[in-house]
Amino acid sequence: MNNNFRLAVNTSIYDGYNIEDIFSSIRKCGFKYFELAYNQGYMSNINQELFNIDNANKINMLKNKYDLDTFSLGCTMDLSTDNLYEIFYPRLKFAHSIGVKYINACTTTSKNKQKLIYNLKSLKPLLEDNNCILCLENAGDYNFNAFVELSDAFEILNELDDKYYSINFDPGNMFTYDRKLNVIEQSLKAIKHSCHFHIKDVYIERDVFKFSAIGEGMIAYQEIIKKLSKNNILSSLEIPLRMYRKLDSTPKKTLEKIDLNLIELTLIKSKNYIEKII
């Protein structure tokens, strides 16, 4: 096993639970790292107060209590929105305060790509001041299809300073956006260009995409996991059990939160699957 391969739990799997219960459960399942999922439009109760110093202090206190650490933060929103600098300022200050370097965010619609690039350039001083790298994530639905395939990411990143911008690749997102794409080929190619990686598996039931323990879905992860481990790519398990997507990629969410026992079983199964590979 590669002991240098760092694997976090993205907290989207715990949507609806309070943060202390989440950290306690993550530690119980045998993980050392977490990625807070503060993704606008996908997670419950996302608001600006999450990014204030009081919440940062709370996160740091709970990190110490449960002997956990973090290297990434999920911050998806429409990156072509007006006043992105002002919106991202508290997000990056918060990230720096809790020890995060990598900010993972989906992009925008393809029609807003030029505004996206303009906005991303404006964030460079903030990223520099807070020692952060913004990792663009490929689309899981049509709201963020400015980056679907790697060629889209390269087009955007060519306009930016590669010291502060990179890729967070997500095979599960690619599969739900367009399962006709060669997800394995794109994933393997993406690894050398990515600072961060989301590990997400998918299956189809009753004409919707649902998410599963890694290794139980439709994505053949063996070679991807091997290459992630070999290259020590920072990764997190992003398994948003409460969310599902229609076959046209429209995102939906169940009304009730997921039973904690199912969450923990899913995480442990995923961890065991990955450890057998690496």
State pTM to two decimals: 0.96
Backbone region of residue 201 per phi and psi (left: phi > 0; alpha: psi in -120 to 50; beta: other values): beta
**Residue 2 covered by a domain:** no
| Domain with 217 in it | 7-277
Mean pLDDT of all residues in 11-23: 97
Q: What percent of the chain has pLDDT over 70?
A: 98
pLDDT band at residue 1 using 50, 70 and 90 as cut-offs: low
pLDDT band at 7 (very low <50, low <70, confident <90, very high): very high
For residue 114, tell me if it sits in a domain.
Answer: yes
Residues 116, 81: Cα–Cα separation, whole Å: 8
Please report the pLDDT score of residue 210 as a whole number: 97
CA distances from 12 to 18, 22, 75, 165, 238 (A): 12, 10, 12, 23, 7
Q: Dihedral of CA 69/44/114/175: which sign?
A: positive
**Around Cβ 227, how many Cβ atoms within 10 Å?**
16
Q: What is the mean pLDDT of residues 57-81?
A: 97
CATH of the domain at 194: 3.20.20.150
Position 241 scores a pLDDT of 97
3-state secondary structure 53-111: HHHHHHHHHHHHHCCCEEEEEECCCCCCCCCHHHHHHHHHHHHHHCCCCEEEECCCCHH
Number of independent structural domains in the chain: 1
* Contacts of residue 88, Cβ cutoff 8 Å, sequence gap at least 6: 75, 123, 126
Residue 151: exposure state from Cβ atoms within 10 A (0-12, 13-18, ≥19): exposed
Q: Say yes or no to pLDDT of 120 above 80.
A: yes
**Once rounded to an integer, what is the mean pLDDT over residues 153-159?**
98
Within-domain flag for 213: yes
219 closest CA partner among 185, 267, 193, 257:
185
Tell me, yes or no, whether 99 lies in a domain.
yes
Tally of CB atoms within 10 A around 55:
17
- Over range 151-161, report the average pLDDT: 97
Average pLDDT value for the chain: 96
What pLDDT sits at residue 95? 97
Rounded distance between C-alpha atoms, residue 276 and residue 278, angstroms: 6
